[in-house]
Amino acid sequence: MEKFDVYGVCNPLIDLLSHIPDLFLKKRGIEKNIMHLISLEKQQELLLALAADNLSLEFAAGGSGANSMIGIAQLGGRAAFSGKIGKDEHGKIYREKLEELGVSARLGEGEGTTGSSLVLVSKDGGRTMNTYLGMCQELQATDIDPAVIQTSKYLYLTGYLWDTESQKKAVRCALDEAKKCNTKVAISLSDPFCVTRHKVDFKNLLQNYASMVFCNQEEAFTLLDTNVTQEAVEILSNWTETVVLTLGANGALISHLGQTFYIDPLAVRVEDTTGAGDAFAAGFLYGMTHDLSALDSGRIGATLAGAVIEQTGSRYQGQAHTLIREKLGISL
């Protein structure tokens, strides 16, 4: 059985990316910079509105967890990914693209539409996601391979999975399998929207299963009902051995086994923040599964995230090895 550094499970989504003026959001009452779950009909309405305003679209195989697994593969790590797609053309393309990008595609399939996310990118780089989950919501326990969990260093799960009973059951089965075979669990809180809806469940997951948590400041504050960063880090550190708390333009804080590290912010030209958090997670997980320190892992994560922010799209388009060597002097 092939061994993996990280086995990611999340919602596989076809990304539909468009750069828009903020007026587009205001006219339609869409709250900026968060993820909205919408119907297929609503998404189609927005696509028609973009076309009417002559705003172009770009397409990519995406989804938060898949972006992170692709980032790990770009850095030279071994990653697998599971989620549920439809038996349609988008699903076929998704599987092919994932494999082409170096990720082992362990995807379940069902009769239905592959999920998609309409990502509206503002001029300041902020992204507002309008997501139709489609077959993602039908994820079953049988769509997650226990053999891959057993041969992976980390099982990586995202908060986006916590929407339907079948998804929750699948996640719980995966967590139980990871605990049984001593595979570490990393959890991303994903979005303040997810945290608000599932606060109690997320606390339980972190306290009872997670070895590592990824979150930004707003997600942490929402989960813990605090607005004090130090307090948030201390609470999360009592629950997990590793806390990765990103602070946007102010860098990041990492707490690992009782030590706290500050990751300095990088000077970047903001083009599009889509996928920045996913890239940070990819860099950090790569480092931690390749015997690098928490500090260097964080620096790799920040560097990869910064490179993603400076371009359009959710993933770095260049040579990740070269980027890390030139920016940090670290040879992977």
**Torsion angle in degrees (nearest 10) through CA of 310, 314, 318, 323:** 60
Contacts of 72 (CB under 8 A, 6+ apart): 5, 6, 78, 79, 282, 285, 286
For residue 331, count CB atoms less than 10 angstroms from its CB and return exposed for 0-12, middle for 13-18, buried for 19 or more: exposed
Model pLDDT, residue 292: 97
Nearest to 280, CA basis, from 259, 260, 253: 253
Q: What are phi and psi of 206, to 5 degrees?
A: -70, -40
pTM above 0.85, yes or no: yes
Alpha-carbon distance 308 to 15, whole Å?
A: 15
Model pLDDT, residue 29: 94
Model pLDDT, residue 267: 87
Contacts 24+ apart (CB under 8 A), 232-241: 233/260, 236/206, 239/203, 239/206, 239/207, 239/210, 239/213, 240/206, 240/210, 240/211, 240/212, 240/213, 241/211, 241/212
Model pLDDT, residue 203: 97
Quick: pLDDT tens for 2-45.
Answer: 899 999 999 999 888 899 999 999 999 999 988 898 999 999 99
CA distances from 315 to 9, 59, 197, 274 (A): 18, 12, 28, 8
Domains in the chain, ordered, with CATH? 4-11+63-113+135-328 (3.40.1190.20)
Contact indicator for 11, 113 with CB cutoff of 8 Å: no
Residue ranges of the chain whose pLDDT lies below 50? none
Sequential DSSP letters for 215-226: EEHHHHHHHHT-
Model pLDDT, residue 125: 84
